[in-house]
């Protein structure tokens, strides 16, 4: 994936994928320091929001928040606020309480104290309560959360913030295809066909914006092959069947990351929500039809 920011480029395994940070500036020393600080921010998000790490905020909540309120890092609290807001706005299509469903499907591991739940469903669980002092309480002992549908985008945003605050003139952060860019110049991103990831559907220009993709796709520096359904409908516990793949362009990568899941589940019904968050989308229906929002058409520069 070509980028305009090629003065300094670093790649590290984080967030379950490869994360690329690329910057352009006249000060080589400042670039090195900024890139390192960006990776520190990404690693912090990884440690806070990992489902697998027993010391993460997510694990502490899953194993204790049904007994008493638990204080979490401000970043975790911020992500939870956005996740619950998106849950309300999407009428439940985005639901971080999906962890038991993913565990039952073998997509997430069971930990000690996580009994398998028969007919696991996110919607059967009581609500999550956000309290003062950045504390969180679960009102259902069955509740287990997974932030995998939103944390990667949040990590990209935090890294972009670090680069901007470091005075870098332009930069890119790409976490396995969920990416954001800033600076005076835009960059072209190729959207792949979920049925044939070696084939491009179109190219879209990103300028001080973010893009995320869900579904079968090609990720940078990984083999070009379908990944299979990666989005589960919280209402049914089954892989989505309306959309094969979706890409969302949004002001932040957190929003782009989460909105792709909503588009995968809701398809064309997601249009009002996209407009609400100043986002646009391209998606491929189960029948193979390529659909785009009007705002996406304005950003599409070249058919591939």
Domains along the sequence of the chain with CATH: 57-138 (1.10.3980), 186-302 (3.10.520.10)
Q: How far apart are CA 168 and CA 188, in angstroms?
A: 20
> Which among 63, 61, 66 has a CA at the least distance from the CA of 79?
61
Q: What is the pLDDT of residue 126?
A: 64
Q: What is the pLDDT of residues 6-61, one digit of tens each?
A: 589 999 999 989 999 999 988 889 999 999 999 999 999 999 999 999 999 999 99
Whole-prediction pTM value?
Answer: 0.89
Percent of the chain with pLDDT over 70: 87
Q: What pLDDT was estimated at residue 64?
A: 95
Q: How far apart are CA 135 and CA 170, in angstroms?
A: 36
Least confident segment among 162-171, 188-197, 275-284: 188-197
What's the sign of the alpha-carbon dihedral 268, 273, 275, 278?
Answer: negative
Flag whether pLDDT at 148 surpasses 80. Answer: yes
* pLDDT reported for residue 300: 62
Mean pLDDT of the chain: 87
Q: Per-residue pLDDT tens for 185-199?
A: 888 888 888 878 788
CA nearest neighbour of 77 among 53, 97, 57, 60: 57
What pLDDT score does 259 carry? 97
CB 24 within 8 A of CB 183: yes
Judge contact between 54 and 86, C-beta under 8 A. Answer: no
Structure confidence at residue 227 (pLDDT): 38
| pLDDT higher than 90, residue 298 | no
Q: Is the pLDDT of residue 149 over 90?
A: yes
In angstroms, rounded to a whole number, what is the distance separating the alpha carbons of residues 152 and 174? 10
Output the pLDDT for position 124.
54
Query: Encoding tokens for residue 18?
Result: 């490869």
For the segment 156-161, the average pLDDT, to the nearest whole number, is 98
DSSP string, the chain: ---S--SEEEEEEETTEEEEEEEE-S-HHHHHHHHHHHHHHHHHHHHHH-SS-TTSHHHHHHHHTTTS-EE--HHHHHHHHHHHHHHHHTTTSS-GGGHHHHHHTTSS---TT----TT--GGGSPPEEEEGGGEEEES-TT-----TTTHHHHHHHHHHHHHHHTT-SEEEEEETTEEEEESSS-EEEEEEETTEEEEEEEEEEESS-EEEEEES---TTS--S------B-TTTSSB--SEEEEEEEESSHHHHHHHHHHHHHHGGGGHHHHHHTT-EEEEEETTS-EEE-HHHHHHEEE--
Q: Per-residue pLDDT for 1 more than 60?
A: no
* Per-residue pLDDT tens over the stretch 88-122: 999 999 999 999 888 888 888 888 777 666 555 55
For 218-243, write each residue's pLDDT tens digit: 343 332 233 344 688 888 888 887 88
């Amino acid at each position: 994936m070509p980028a305009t920011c090629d003065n300094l480029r670093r790649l590290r395994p984080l967030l379950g994928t490869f994360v690329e940070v690329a910057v352009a500036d006249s000060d080589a020393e400042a670039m090195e320091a900024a890139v390192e600080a960006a990776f520190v921010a990404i690693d912090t998000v990884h440690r806070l929001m990992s489902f697998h790490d027993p010391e993460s905020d997510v694990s502490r909540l899953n194993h204790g928040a049904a007994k008493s309120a638990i204080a979490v890092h401000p970043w975790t609290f911020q992500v939870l606020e956005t996740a619950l807001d998106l849950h309300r706005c999407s009428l439940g299509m985005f639901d971080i309480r999906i962890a038991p469903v993913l565990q039952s499907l073998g997509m997430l591991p069971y930990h000690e104290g996580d009994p398998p739940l028969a007919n696991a469903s996110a919607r059967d669980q009581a609500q999550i309560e956000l309290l003062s002092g950045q504390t969180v309480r679960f009102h259902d002992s069955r509740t287990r959360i997974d932030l995998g549908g939103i944390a990667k985008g949040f990590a990209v945003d935090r890294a972009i913030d670090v680069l901007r605050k470091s005075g870098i003139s332009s930069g890119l952060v790409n976490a396995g295809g969920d990416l954001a860019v800033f600076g005076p110049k835009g960059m072209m991103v190729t959207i792949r066909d979920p049925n044939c990831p070696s084939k491009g559907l179109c190219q879209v220009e990103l300028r001080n914006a973010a893009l995320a993709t869900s579904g079968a796709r090609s990720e940078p520096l990984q083999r070009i092959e379908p990944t299979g359904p990666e989005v589960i409908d919280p209402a049914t516990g089954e892989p989505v069947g309306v959309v094969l793949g979706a890409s969302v362009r949004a002001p932040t990568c957190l929003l782009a990351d989460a909105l792709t899941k909503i588009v995968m589940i809701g398809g064309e019904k997601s249009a009002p929500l996209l407009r609400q968050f100043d986002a646009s989308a391209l998606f491929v229906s189960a029948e193979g039809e390529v659909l785009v929002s009007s705002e996406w058409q304005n950003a599409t520069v070249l058919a591939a």
